[in-house]
Structure 1
């Protein structure tokens, strides 16, 4: 019971009194690329962004990587950004072995806090967030299906009042 109350309080503090979720909240971060040669800032990326938290030991994370890459190719107005929970060398190898060429960053010790700020209070993987104009339009724990991605593309398009400008 105490755990449920703690989660409810955390949700309320994170999302306001309505505790409905992160949609409509602003969210931004700056993280180093896996190579460590530069930093990517979410707020500086133009257009809608799908941020996906993943790890190499997470079967649904690995299963959805090719789907995310296909989505990026089919929707060039979107940026798909992978946030690895693994050390950079392991993440680079996992992506390379699967032919994934999406931009990837490392969250390091900040990963739990970064996910919590976007609505993932449990810390489970995979976790995906769609952002447009620094505003969260969708967030979901679990593997994204092709149908989910299509719904997100429509809901968070640049002209949509919920996610666009």
Structure 2
């Protein structure tokens, strides 16, 4: 019995290492999309307007895979206010705020508001999680390189959840590290 447990443990460890290696390899490929973003990182709440413009321009040029393998181009969201939330399945505050963001999306999509979730996680974990708790807004697979993207948008600590808000003109207007509060959403929805 002990030998069987050790063999299963060894197989599980090898599978885990293989999965981590594949994720690392994929994140390197995604990171190649973001060198300009990473070089434009500014302070979390008070970046220079020129830096924000360059970061926003680079952000709108990105595209992510969706959980079902399609492409999610950020440029397709230009022209309307956009809330972008960085989250992960292993992040309790992220999971706690997703129903609020989903409700916000459903209530405000008729008012031209858009929401995109960027999962900073393993694609398989995101797919599994979404099967049991589907979201109404689009989700992009940012993978491990999502941390660098969030840093370029002002999340210098790389913590999750992290949210940014772009106005209809594509300008980066708000940054929030930590769980979103309903009062913040109410304030943001008034943004012109």
Question: TM-score, normalization: structure 2?
Answer: 0.67
Of 22, 29, 47, which residue of structure 2 is paired with 1:21? 47
Higher mean alpha-carbon deviation, 129-138 vs 64-73, is at 129-138
Q: Which residue of 1 aligns with 2:80?
A: 47
Question: Considering only CA atoms, is the larger Rg found in Structure 1 or Structure 2?
Answer: 2
The whole-number CA distance in structure 2 between the counterparts of 1:147 and 1:90 is 31
Regions of 4+ moved over 4 Å: none
Instruction: Report the structure, 1 or 2, having the larger helix content.
Output: 2
Which blocks of at least 5 consecutive residues in structure 1 are unaligned?
1-12, 161-165
The answer to whether residue 176 in structure 2 is matched with residue 149 in structure 1 is no
| Local SS of the residue matching 2:160 | coil
| Local SS of the residue matching 2:46 | coil
Q: Deviations over 1:20-42 (max 9, x none)?
A: 137782321221112222x2222
Q: CA RMSD in A?
A: 2.1
Q: Deviations over 1:84-140 (max 9, x none)?
A: 011222112212322323210011242122111110111000000111232111010
Q: Which residue of 1 aligns with 2:149?
A: 114
Which blocks of at least 5 consecutive residues in structure 2 are unaligned?
1-39
Of 132, 139, 154, which residue of structure 2 is paired with 1:97? 132
Question: TM-score, normalization: structure 1?
Answer: 0.77
Q: Which residue of 2 aligns with 1:72?
A: 105
The whole-number CA distance in structure 2 between the counterparts of 1:131 and 1:94 is 27
